[in-house]
């Protein structure tokens, strides 16, 4: 039986999701593919290193996640963004088309905390650069998966209200300017989920994800359309290709 992840309402329509490491299942295959290796080509040595990192991962993860629900409205005559909580978010067509029928938006954040980046930095300083790189990659896969769990959680919560959700989008991706991160964070409580933002829109801890999910009776969560985006060097594109291949492999 699937266990429901608890959430608490910290402020009106602002929820902290009490996710733990046990809610994740970080896959070695996903780590390997995000490193770029086709199936079966990862040198044994690195595979052992990844196994060792995964064995220690739970001790290095302090997952915190949350979201705020706000009214959302897209103006019929413009495709360059939408109003969230009465404020205009400048988004590209790739994103706004998904929000056409959204009534609300969930602004979310998720982090695995600073421990993995501290570990990777220490290894790098000690000269163990390959292991450091692998720790960083495992951390990226982990925070992405924690965000998947948060996304699914929001979907279940909205389903209970008779609402559906869209895909998620983050500043810096799908042509959404990373500087809009400041706008997104302005709607969240200060230091929400332990995440702060630098002047240059950099999240601290580094292994954090923020973004927006559309909510409404007539919106859909669909496959990502990476092929229509011009951003070729994108972490999400790599993750999604890895995930699609992993699903094929499992089936």
Give the number of residues in contact with another protein, rule: CB under 8 A: 26
Beta bridge partners of 108: 67, 211
The site map against another protein for 165-204 (x = CB under 8 A) is -------x----xxx------------------xxxxx-x
Work out which of 21, 37, 83, 187 binds another protein, going by CB under 8 A: 37
Shortest CB 181 distance to another protein, Å: 8
Question: Which span (38-46, 67-75, 97-105, 162-170) binds another protein, by CB under 8 A?
Answer: 38-46
Q: Of 136-165, which residues contact another protein (CB under 8 A)? A: 136
Work out which of 5, 10, 21, 35 binds another protein, going by CB under 8 A: 35
Judged by beta carbon, residue 198 or residue 247, the one nearer another protein is 198
Using the rule CB under 8 A, is 123 a contact of another protein?
Answer: no
Using the rule CB under 8 A, is 9 a contact of another protein?
Answer: no
Using the rule CB under 8 A, is 129 a contact of another protein?
Answer: yes
Q: How far apart are the first and last CA of the chain?
A: 22
Residues in contact with another protein by CB under 8 A are 35-37, 43-46, 124, 127, 129-130, 133-134, 136, 172, 177-179, 198-202, 204, 206, 233
């Amino acid at each position: 039986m699937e266990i429901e992840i608890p959430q608490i309402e910290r402020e009106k329509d602002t929820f902290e999701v009490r996710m733990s490491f046990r809610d994740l299942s970080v896959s070695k295959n996903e780590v390997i593919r995000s490193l770029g290796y086709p199936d079966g080509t990862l040198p044994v040595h690195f595979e052992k290193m990844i196994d060792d990192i995964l064995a220690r991962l739970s001790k290095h993860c302090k997952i915190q996640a949350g979201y705020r629900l706000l009214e959302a409205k897209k103006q019929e005559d413009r495709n360059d963004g939408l109003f969230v909580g009465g404020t205009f978010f400048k988004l590209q067509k790739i994103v706004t088309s998904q929000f056409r029928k959204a009534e609300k938006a969930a602004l979310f954040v998720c982090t695995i905390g600073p421990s993995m980046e501290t570990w990777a930095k220490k290894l790098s300083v000690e000269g163990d650069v390959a292991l450091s790189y692998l720790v960083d990659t495992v951390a990226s896969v982990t925070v992405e998966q924690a965000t998947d769990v948060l996304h699914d959680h929001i979907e279940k919560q909205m389903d209970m209200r008779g609402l559906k959700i869209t895909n998620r989008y983050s500043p810096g991706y799908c042509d959404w300017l990373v500087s809009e991160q400041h706008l997104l964070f302005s709607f969240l409580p200060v230091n929400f989920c332990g995440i702060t933002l630098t002047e240059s829109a950099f999240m601290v801890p580094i292994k954090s994800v923020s973004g927006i999910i559309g909510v409404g009776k007539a919106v859909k969560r669909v496959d990502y359309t990476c092929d229509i985006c011009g951003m070729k060097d994108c972490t999400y594109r790599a993750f999604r290709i890895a995930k699609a291949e992993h699903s094929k492999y499992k089936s």
